Structure 1
Amino acid sequence: MRRPVTFDCGGDRLVGSLDPAVGPTGLLIVSGGNEVRWGTHRGMAMLAARLAARGIAVFRFDRRGVGDSEGTNQGWASSRPDMEVALATFRREQPQMTRVLALGNCDAATALACFGASLPLGGLILTNPWTGDDADGLPPQAAIRARYRQRLTDPMMWKRAVTGRLDFRRLFRGLRKLFHTRAQDVPTRMATGLQAFAGPVTVILAREDATAIGFRACWTQHAFSALRDRVHWLEVATSSHSFQHAPDTAALEAAVYEALG
């Protein structure tokens, strides 16, 4: 039976949700962005219920300043203490667990990649990791490149250009970004963190999602290639960043369950 759990982080009261189970393996779900622990379209709550029914305990929580939790939201880069106390609380609530993995989507995956090595985790499951390349409101360079390649061969785009229905300002902003080189601090931090992590890592990507396309493009850079033999890759044929459609959620559950095994 799902139940709420409260715990302290730096003097702030945080709120989590526990789906208990009797098995030895548990999953800590870290929310991405400013998303609450239920997940987009209640996706993480439904995933937790299904995994618990299969004997895997699941703990989700709102980090400081998000959802039901107190404090100031300082973003993913300041979330390590939140994850640390959430993990300790989870282990206290489910003492039979001998192995806990963590799952994060978007910048929660980024946080786990950067800080996972400093936490007592048996594995990481990273879905659509965020590389920081869309902080300007535009998709990552790799996603822009793929999109423009498709659009340049589309007769409808040229028709919109001729009739004045094409947003040339956004087009030129995208083209400018293609030729603009930015510092890649986030991918470098992720690569460094993953190199220090001793356990298995599973990466699950929504094939047509812009954030996933950006991460895939970073994989051959920033020392990610050194992790090739330790990382298991899975792809879901969707453009949904949060795996919101029924086939997507089923594929995500199967991939997560495989990683937990």
Structure 2
Amino acid sequence: MRRQLSFACEGAALAASLDEAPGATGLLIVSGGNEIRSGAHRGMAMLAGRVAAAGFPVFRFDRRGIGDSEGENGGFEFSGPDIVAAIAAFRHAAPQVSRIVAFGNCDAASALLLHQPLSLDALIVANPWTYDSDAEEGETADEPALPPASAIRARYLSRLKDPKSLLRLLKGEVDFRKLVRGLSALGKSTAPAAPDGVPARIEVALSGLACPATILLATGDRTAQAFMENCPAALNRLPVERLASPSHSFAGDDADWLAERILEILGR
């Protein structure tokens, strides 16, 4: 059964949804970007229903200034109080829960890392956001941020080995504007990470976690590729599950893979 409720965070009323289940282990879902708690194409709502059907209660919420919640939207870097309040509200709404695992994708994953310590028992962080701003220089809705140079090299090398890609090039079916933009990025040197930037802070957070964490990566996703390049040490230090997919939000059939990984961790 899905129940709608609200809780307070620094004077603002935040909207939440609880998918009830009898289990003592619960899942807290933190939404990424400016998405409401149902997620992209209701992905998080469907995930919550699936996890609850397996016996684990699930709590989702809209942070301040998003969806049905009051207050001002300060972005993921200022969402620490929202997460703390959501954890307390989850424990109050489902008093049988003694263990909480939190899941976040994109900047929600980064929020869970940057706002540690939190009273959580485990983390599942997917495609963590490691850019220092909401948009790279020159980025538009039609022309999103380029992936790291290493990912561009790997992609073009793969295409050069593919006869179909070469045939498309000869037939003029390739978007030369995008091709030139991608090739130009190969010649750019990568600026050193700022010590107080998001990548460096996430690296520090990952190295000092007080609870177990699992990293989920859609290896064809640009945000995941940037994380792999910006935080390489974490890939050797923490459990990492990889899915060969470009789907940033684990849409379509990838939703099954995501649900299976989450249920496996909840059942430990």
TM normalised by structure 1 equals: 0.87
Instruction: Give the counterpart letter for 1:252 in structure 2.
Output: L
The separation in 2 between residues aligned to 1:168 and 1:161, in whole angstroms, is: 9
Q: Distance in 2 between matches of 1:73 and 1:175?
A: 37
Distance across 1 between alignment mates of 2:76 and 2:204: 17
5+ residue gaps, structure 2: 137-143
Task: Tell whether the 8 Å contact from 1:203 to 1:234 is kept in structure 2 after alignment.
Answer: yes
CA distance in 2 between counterparts of 1:135 and 1:174 reads: 17
Partner of 1:258: 264
The residue number in structure 2 matching 1:240 is 247
Residue equivalent to 1:68: 68
Q: Which residue of the partner structure matches residue 124 of structure 1?
A: 123
Structure 2 residue aligned with 1:249, among 230, 248, 255? Answer: 255
Q: Which whole-Å CA distance do the structure 1 matches of 2:214 and 2:205 have between them?
A: 14
Unaligned residue ranges in structure 1 (runs of 5+): none
Match of 2:93 in 1: 93
1:155 positional shift: 5.7
Q: Say whether 1:182 aligns with 2:188.
A: no
Question: Aligned AA for 2:247?
Answer: S
AA in 2 matched with 1:213: Q
Q: Secondary structure at the match of 2:16?
A: strand
Corresponding residue for residue 49 of structure 2? 49
Quote the offset at 1:66 in angstroms.
Answer: 1.3
Q: Which residue of 1 aligns with 2:154?
A: 146
Q: Higher mean Cα deviation, 165-174 or 70-79?
A: 165-174
Amino-acid identity (%): 50
Determine if contact 1:21/1:57 at 8 Å carries over to the other structure.
yes
**Equivalent residues of 1:31, 1:61 under 8 A apart:** yes
1:193 is the counterpart of 2:193 = no
Within 2, Cα distance between the matches of 1:55 and 1:161?
A: 52
Letter in 1 for 2:219: R
* Pairwise CA RMSD: 2.3
Aligned pair in 2 of structure 1 residues 144, 74: CA closer, same or farther (>3 Å)?
farther
Instruction: Determine the structure 2 residue equivalent to 1:103.
Output: 103
Does the 8 A contact of 2:117 with 2:210 survive in 1? no
Q: For 2:98, give the aligned amino acid.
A: T
Further displaced range: 157-166 or 174-183 = 157-166
Which position in structure 2 is the counterpart of 1:27? 27
Counterpart of 1:128, as a letter, is N
Structure 1 residue matching 2:101: 3-state secondary structure: strand
Shift of 1:197: 1.4
User: What secondary structure does 2:228 align onto?
Assistant: helix
Residue 173 of structure 1: aligned partner: 181
CA–CA distance in structure 2, aligned partners of residues 79 and 149 of structure 1: 40
Cα distance in 1, alignment partners of residues 166 and 257 from structure 2: 37
Letter in 2 for 1:123: A
Assess if the C-alpha contact under 8 Å between 2:63 and 2:82 holds in 1: yes
Change (3 A) 1:239 1:165: closer
Q: CA deviation at 1:176?
A: 3.8
Aligned to 2:234: 224
In 2, the alpha carbon distance for the partners of 1:3 and 1:173 equals: 48
Q: In 2, Cα distance between the equivalents of 1:149 and 1:112?
A: 35
Shift of 1:166: 4.8
How far has the Cα of 1:168 moved from its partner?
4.3
- 2:255 maps to amino acid: T
Aligned-partner SS, 1:192: helix
